[in-house]
Amino acid sequence: MLPTVSKGRGTSAVRPAPGFSQYLRRIVKWQQMDIEYTFWQMLHLCTSPKVVYQHTKYHKQTKNQWARDDPAFAVIFCLFLIVATSAYCAAYGVTWVHSVFTVVSVVAFHFLLAGTILATCCWFLTNTYMREETPSSHAVEQRVEWLYAFDVHCNSFFPAFVLLYVIQYFVSPLLVAHGFFPMLVSNLLFMVAISYYHYLNFLGYDVLPFLDKTTFFLYPIGLVIILSPLMILSGFNPTRYMMRLYFG
């Protein structure tokens, strides 16, 4: 995470935000996590995501950083992923060795590694190409914190998790069946999940007042809308593909 720095004299610079190491240390301190607020955020990310990012502005005013200083969201999200993936493994009757491998791969690669890569790309793009020039040499230079970019990924991924891990689990017997209707529903489910991910990604960066041209993060939605009918016409069923990939 990058601390806020000031150009020029910077005599009124505020205190730097807590570092990444402090964030990691709080992971093992469950009693310091705000669990109730985390569940509130998760609920509103699915219903009123703009409200969540309005509270992000309040966090900046009180904590002098855009990123969460509480790792509760990421920790609880990992627990949800473990439970959901374990339910899939139990339902599809794979061995316990295969189950452990699948759970670890989903948490470590799908969420943490992929999230780290996506957050780093967005952090680089926003700081390099989207920051507005400061009008005065004495103005505080603002940058996107890496931890905030990771927060945005977590926020964006959660509704997709609800659609593709939870809802899809209960309707998977229908979605893996042969026929046009299961394929159509499966493609629509993935289209909505991926589009909503990118919409929340846009909201996360659009709330930052020092960024410009954040509509760039909406462009992938257009690509998803174009590709989805092509996938339907080609007979591709993403749910069946994912089930074969993980459970044979």
Convert the pLDDT of each residue in 190-243 to its tens digit. Answer: 999 999 999 999 999 999 999 999 999 999 999 999 999 999 999 999 999 999
Is residue 107 pLDDT above 90, yes or no?
A: yes
Q: Establish if 9 belongs to a structural domain.
A: no
Q: Establish if 10 belongs to a structural domain.
A: no
Residue 66 · residue 148 · CB < 8 Å:
yes
Which tokens go with 229?
Answer: 């009918």
Please, what sign has the CA dihedral across residues 59, 201, 113, 107?
Answer: positive
Instruction: Report d(CA 44, CA 31) in Å as an integer.
Output: 23
H or E stretch including 225? helix 219-234
Q: Is residue 175 packed enough to be buried (19+ CB in 10 Å), middle (13-18) or exposed (0-12)? A: buried
Which tokens go with 148?
Answer: 């905030």
Is residue 15 pLDDT above 70, yes or no?
A: no
Q: What is the DSSP string of 131-185?
A: BPPPSSTTSEE----HHHHHHHHHHHHHHHHIIIIIIHHHHHHHHTSSSHHHHHH
Residues 6+ apart with CB under 8 A from 177: none
Instruction: Report d(CA 139, CA 74) in Å as an integer.
Output: 33
Residue 4 CB neighbours (<10 A): 18
Averaged confidence pLDDT in the chain:
87
φ, ψ (nearest 5 deg) of residue 211:
-105, 150
pLDDT score recorded for residue 134: 64
Mean pLDDT of 76-94: 93
Long-range contacts of the stretch 85-90 (C-beta < 8 A, 24+): 85/165, 87/169, 88/165, 88/169, 88/246, 88/247, 89/247
Is residue 92 pLDDT above 90, yes or no?
A: no
Is residue 130 pLDDT above 90, yes or no?
A: yes
Domain that holds residue 58: 17-247
pLDDT score recorded for residue 109: 93
Residue 84 · residue 161 · CB < 8 Å:
yes
Per the structure, how many domains does the chain have? 1
Instruction: Report d(CA 81, CA 166) in Å as an integer.
Output: 10
Amino acid found at 184: L
Distances (CA, A) of 11 to 15, 34, 64, 178: 11, 34, 16, 68
Q: Establish if 106 belongs to a structural domain.
A: yes
pLDDT score recorded for residue 135: 60
Is residue 148 pLDDT above 50, yes or no?
A: yes
pLDDT score recorded for residue 133: 72
H or E stretch including 6? strand 5-6
Q: Establish if 225 belongs to a structural domain.
A: yes
